[in-house]
Amino acid sequence: TTTDVAIIGAGPAGMLLSHLLAAQGVESVVIEARSQEYVASRIRAGVLEHSTVELLRSVGLADRLEAEGDEHRGIHLQWPGERHHLDFVDLTGRSVWIYGQTELQKDLIAARTAAGQQVHYEAADVALHDLRTEAPSVTFTDPSGEPHRVRARAVAGCDGSFGPSRGAVGADLRRTWERVYPYSWLGVLADVAPSTDELIYAWHPDGFALHSMRSSTVSRFYLQVPNSTSADEWSHDRIWDALAARLGHGQDGWELEPGTITDTSVLPMRSYVQTPMRDGRLFLAGDAAHIVPPTGAKGLNLAVADVALLAPALADLVRGDSRQADAYSDTALRRVWRCTHFSWWMTTMLHTGTDPFDTQLQLSQLRWVATSEAGATGLAENYAGLPIGF
């Protein structure tokens, strides 16, 4: 097959890129290791920032999001004895939307299917070739064992943190930065109405807790747990007890309503950035180039921001103008490092450890963020998201 852009990975970055390219008249072929059902059912992020929603609206992908998603003005930030609401709309004029990544992924698949997008699911042995020439290609084997080669003008590596694209950037150029955190998250999905109108981020001596949601009948929670924890150690009773304690059940009359837990999983936390995000005709986007800890809800939004920059750059490139493609890595990395800092800051402010000096700094920082307009605005601006192209 010959196409304009070979896209590796059918996650949000890859599928949205194919949609944005098509809107500019650029053809692509998507190559994905897993099945369509698997990709559409992974439970992941839940918060869309302002510019993500604007972008989705501008390309006709926000109908179900606007009908079924929930617009939030801000978040609640709390520690024992205190809960404060930060109103992002008042502070910055920008809101966020609660809409599961699973739902966005389904919308992307539906839109691309309707448009006749070529997607090769269950591709094995995916390999990248001739990236430093003007005729790169991607090879893979389909489920019947037949080998394929997709020849393109450019390759977009949207294959997440375990795909082959990241490692295809030449060792002569590649540089990586990493921070591993000494805790993980236990993610919990429950069939129960949320006990809150907007998300609650809670600092607690037992560990951080987050009350999020997916709909009026489904709640999503996260608990800070040790890195060595397995989900088996967390019985449903233990989970509800920990959530009640950390989220402040009984405090000022607030109650946490328990319900049936339908899924639990342990998520490791790390920060990772690989530069540059381009080598020759290979361009990285999303988790293929960077990982953030989930505390600032940035991972999915960063993937969207990358492809919002990459799509016009690739459209120009295939038409012979390489200026935006040449600028892509540096431009994208400005936002990547901003989100990397913000995610690290939210993570280290909210997760508890053993150092009593750190604890006092965290509580002082939380109080400043929750009660000073300058402090609150800094959090709000980053959380609701900086404009694309920042």
Give me the residues that bind ligand DHB (CB under 6 A), please: 45-47, 199, 210, 212, 220, 294-295, 297
Binding partner of 160, given ligand FAD, ligand DHB, none, CB within 5-8 angstroms per partner class: ligand FAD
Catalytic residue at 121? no
For residues 390 and 101, what is the distance between their CA atoms, to the nearest angstrom?
23
Helices (H), the chain: 12-23, 36-41, 50-58, 63-68, 88-92, 101-114, 165-168, 236-247, 299-318, 323-350, 356-371, 373-384
Catalytic residue at 194? no
For residues 384 and 95, what is the distance between their CA atoms, to the nearest angstrom?
6
Residue that is written with structure tokens 């020759």 in the block:
280
According to the binding rule CB under 6 A, does residue 32 interact with ligand FAD? yes
Which stretch, 2-10, 64-72, 111-119, 145-153, contacts ligand FAD (CB under 6 A)? 2-10
- The residues in 101-120 that bind ligand FAD, with binding defined as CB under 6 A, are 101
Count residues contacting ligand FAD (CB under 6 A)?
32
- Count CA atoms within 13 Å of residue 283 on its CB side: 36
Contact 85, 76 (CB under 8 A): yes
Q: Which is nearer to ligand DHB, 45 or 285 (CB)?
A: 45
- Count CA atoms within 13 Å of residue 180 on its CB side: 4
Catalytic residue at 201? yes
Which residue in the list 72, 76, 211, 351 is annotated as catalytic? 72
Q: Which is nearer to ligand FAD, 144 or 354 (CB)?
A: 144
Catalytic residue at 106? no
Tokens of 169: 């950037």
Q: Which is nearer to ligand DHB, 150 or 297 (CB)?
A: 297
What b-and-e string marks burial along 119-150, b requiring 16 or more CB atoms within 10 Å of the CB? bbbebeebebeebeeeebbbbbeeeeeeebeb
According to the binding rule CB under 6 A, does residue 350 interact with ligand FAD? no
Closest residue to ligand DHB in the complex (CB): 46
CA distances from 129 to 67, 193, 245, 250, 273 (A): 43, 50, 54, 60, 23
According to the binding rule CB under 6 A, does residue 199 interact with ligand FAD? no
Q: How far is the CB of 352 from ligand DHB (least distance, A)?
A: 17
Q: Which of 386, 387, 384, 390 is nearest to 89 (CA)?
A: 384
Build a one-symbol-per-residue string for 286-315: x at contacts with ligand FAD by CB under 6 A, - elsewhere.
xx------x--xxxx--x------------
Q: Which is nearer to ligand FAD, 179 or 367 (CB)?
A: 179
Residues that bind ligand FAD (CB under 6 A): 8-14, 31-34, 39, 44-45, 101, 123, 126, 158-160, 162-164, 267, 286-287, 294, 297-300, 303
The residues carrying an active-site annotation are 72, 201, 294, 298, 383
